[in-house]
Chains A and B, each alone.
Chain A
């Protein structure tokens, strides 16, 4: 029994370290964001109908996803700027500024959830800052 627990612990450790590649982890987090934006982006652009329940569900997912990336040090550790990544060196020259940028996005999403938009105009008003924070972060911290 003891051996089994040890083996299970060892296995979970291995699994954890395999999935702990920060480049892969942060990419997965970003891909989740894109998947949600595929639902609500066209709504904001007027290419899909506004449905308050669908938007609320999507924003909740976006919020959970943003909070999952709140540990900026873990996802963008020093030295993770090379390899299969478009992360720019600017992240680590002023890490606090990068963290602030990440926080800006998290706050924009949280504000959108709190606003619980009931019509298209209200949704567009809270979606604007979300999209703008994607752009401002990528401008400085992603090479393309």
Chain B
């Protein structure tokens, strides 16, 4: 009897220890003070470039919006995934429905650590595992630019997820496995141009979020970086953009850069779906950035199609 009680006590202690461990492991982890200290006053003009490089409008503006409407960040677009449907939030400057009350620190913690101002985890449909590789200074510039954008009324509404994905706290464990600000691929002595391309593709551009296959829990398989994937959201496959079989090894750097500007493949098909929106973002960048992306795509390891 006594031993049974001991066992029960030990069991309870284990559960409690497990609970404490879970609590500690899943704690939202913000940027450290040193990182936040380099958040100076941003430059809105430079921030506009960061805005287009980061593709904010592709999810947070109305689908198919063009011109000034791409700066109306009311959210509401729905993304159906195996975990449920994610709804892009309002990130306009509206004080209650958008992010009008956020500080630059709030934006940096959200983008680079996936933590909300009130200390909760964001779901990785928001590509913070890529944005984690951004320079804090770029986020400061982006913040300055976003403050020039309109406030739009209207809460986009909650995500519609299946249990247990409704439990945000568990994302802390997911982040331990998948949130890593280190480069996705190791490049041997990259040129300045290739390094710029790496920053744009792996960081703000978040190309890997669609072009890299995911494992069972939705983490990116960096061993097959940019090798194409079954669409995680929507139907069909996302193309392999490495030089491996089924990829774009026979495209020149100029052809890759031309696609990013005009949407035309070397064969003069015009890309569609969400890539058309990406092209409209990329077309806003200086030609040197599109060329840097092309140079990087030529420098990364080649993989055969991953889908």
Contacts and interface: CB of A to CB of B under 8 A. Distances in A.
B64 A136 contact: yes
Interface residues of A, number: 18
Contact of A143 (B234, B263, B268): B234
Interface residues of B, number: 23
A103 interface: no
Interface string A20-64: 000000000000001001100100010000000000000000000
B63 interface: yes
B236 A144 contact: yes
B62 to A, nearest CB: 11
Interface of B: 63-64, 66, 234-236, 258, 262-264, 267-277, 279-280
B258 to A, nearest CB: 6
Contacts of A34: 267-269
A143 B269 CA distance: 13
A80 to B, nearest CB: 16
A77 interface: no
Nearest to A44: B262
A135 B280 contact: yes
Interface of A: 34, 37-38, 41, 45, 86, 88, 131, 134-136, 138-144
B276 A139 contact: yes
Given A140-B63, A144-B275, A135 B270 contact: yes
A138 B264 contact: no
A126 B74 CA distance: 33
Contacts of A140: 63-64
B301 to A, nearest CB: 24
A143 B236 contact: yes
Given A86-B236, A131-B263, A139 B273 contact: yes
A143 B234 CA distance: 8
Contact of B271 (A37, A141, A144): A144
A45 B262 contact: yes
A136 B264 contact: no
B258 A45 contact: yes
A144 B270 CA distance: 9
B158 to A, nearest CB: 23
Contacts of B262: 45, 131, 135
A135 B258 CA distance: 13
Nearest to B58: A139
Nearest to A130: B270
A140 B277 CA distance: 9
Nearest to B254: A47
A89 to B, nearest CB: 10
A134 B280 CA distance: 12
A2 B34 CA distance: 93
Contacts of B279: 135
B246 to A, nearest CB: 15
Contacts of A136: 64, 66, 276
B254 to A, nearest CB: 8
Contact of A144 (B273, B277, B280): B273
Nearest to A35: B268
Contacts of B275: 144
Given A45-B262, A86-B236, A131-B262, A139 B277 contact: yes
A61 to B, nearest CB: 14
A142 B263 contact: no
Contacts of A134: 263-264, 270
A49 B272 CA distance: 28
A138 B267 contact: no
Contacts of A86: 236, 272
A144 B264 contact: no
A124 to B, nearest CB: 11
Given A135-B280, A136-B64, A143 B273 contact: yes
